[in-house]
Amino acid sequence: MSRRVMRYQDARIRVRELTGTGGPTFVLVHGIGVSSRYFEPLAFALHHAGDVLLVDLPGFGGLPHPRRPLSIAGFAETVRAALAAEEITDAVLIGHSMGAQVVVEMLSREASYRSAVLIGPPVNPAEPALWQQAGRLLQSASHESRRMRMVASSSYLRCGPAWFTQVLPSMMRYPIATRLPLIRTRTLLLHGEHDTVVPPTWVETMATLLPHACHVQLSGAAHGVVYEHSDQVAKLTLQHLART
């Protein structure tokens, strides 16, 4: 798997590439605190259908922190710039958790992306407080495997509490409900049965707001669905891509 680090203004973004056998380029964008590491099972499940780019956002995965914390729009711009530098024109954007917010921002600005998959996008407007979201994440974590919790914990430690807490307000305040109606790309919404961060009522609201979307609940999955159920996520992604 090749890797390269690119600079955009004072931020650095890492791209790891798993070369496939033609087809579109799948671009995987991780959530807050973690890194592209937990996307690796999904990357290997997808690479037979196309190239896969695993993105590490600025400040995560061991990358240096920019001088100022980035907003969701700022993260989206760094990913867009990286894709432009890579000359990617046939991208399927896949975002998980905060990464889904980054993908939403990219989609709301451009309609040129081939397709998109949003997995567990926060923040549920019925529970907007930080303590509520933290409690829901802990509830969801009780349904994750020990290995998944270890991967997430090591990533959080590598990110560090300072950068996490600087980025967190941007995630909590991101106006996803006002950005979703701007998207014209066909989109698949995925969430886990036990993902209490993203309950079915919030998914149904997002599906209503999106002009071109379908949504699927994965049985037995929680918030870490991209790691624990990578084969199912890959299968649903490819089915969605075939329909679009």
Domains and CATH numbers, the chain: 2-243 (3.40.50.1820)
The reported pLDDT for the residue numbered 84 is 92
Q: What is the pTM of this model?
A: 0.94
How crowded is residue 238: how many other Cβ atoms within 10 Å of its Cβ?
18
The reported pLDDT for the residue numbered 4 is 85
Q: 115-119 and 187-192 as β-strands: parallel, antiparallel, unpaired?
A: parallel
User: What is the Cα–Cα distance from 233 to 24, expressed in whole angstroms?
Assistant: 17
Cα 157 to Cα 42, 162, 203: the distances in Å are 23, 10, 30
- With a pLDDT cut of 90, the percent of the chain lying above it is 59
Q: 91-96 and 25-29 as β-strands: parallel, antiparallel, unpaired?
A: parallel
Answer yes or no: is pLDDT of 149 > 80: no
Which candidate, 112, 241, 105, 123, places its Cα nearest to that of 172? Answer: 123
Decide which of 3 and 119 is more confident. Answer: 119
Q: What is the mean pLDDT of the chain?
A: 90
User: What is the Cα–Cα distance from 28 to 103, expressed in whole angstroms?
Assistant: 9
**pLDDT band for position 160 (cuts 50, 70, 90):** confident
The reported pLDDT for the residue numbered 29 is 97
Least confident of 56-65, 124-133, 148-157, 195-204: 148-157
Q: Report whether 118 contacts 190 (CB < 8 A).
A: yes
The reported pLDDT for the residue numbered 45 is 94
The reported pLDDT for the residue numbered 187 is 94
- The encoded tokens of residue 117 equal 């998959």
The reported pLDDT for the residue numbered 106 is 96
Which candidate, 134, 101, 96, places its Cα nearest to that of 218? Answer: 96
The reported pLDDT for the residue numbered 23 is 82
Which candidate, 26, 182, 242, places its Cα nearest to that of 119? Answer: 26
Helix-, strand-, coil-residue percentages of the chain, each rounded to 5: 45, 20, 35
Give the mean pLDDT of 78-100: 93
Q: Report whether 47 contacts 18 (CB < 8 A).
A: yes
Least confident of 131-140, 154-163, 199-208: 154-163
User: What is the Cα–Cα distance from 244 to 64, expressed in whole angstroms?
Assistant: 38
Altogether, the residues listed in the chain come to a count of 244
Q: What is the pLDDT of residues 119-146, one digit of tens each?
A: 999 999 988 888 888 888 887 877 777 7
Query: Which long-range CB contacts under 8 A does 38-41 form with residues at least 24 apart?
Result: 38/148, 38/151, 38/152, 38/155, 38/224, 38/226, 38/227, 39/96, 39/226, 39/227, 41/226, 41/227, 41/230, 41/231
Answer yes or no: is pLDDT of 152 > 80: no
**pLDDT band for position 8 (cuts 50, 70, 90):** confident
The reported pLDDT for the residue numbered 209 is 94
β strands within the chain, DSSP E: 2-8, 11-18, 25-29, 51-56, 91-96, 115-119, 187-192, 213-218
Answer yes or no: is pLDDT of 230 > 80: yes
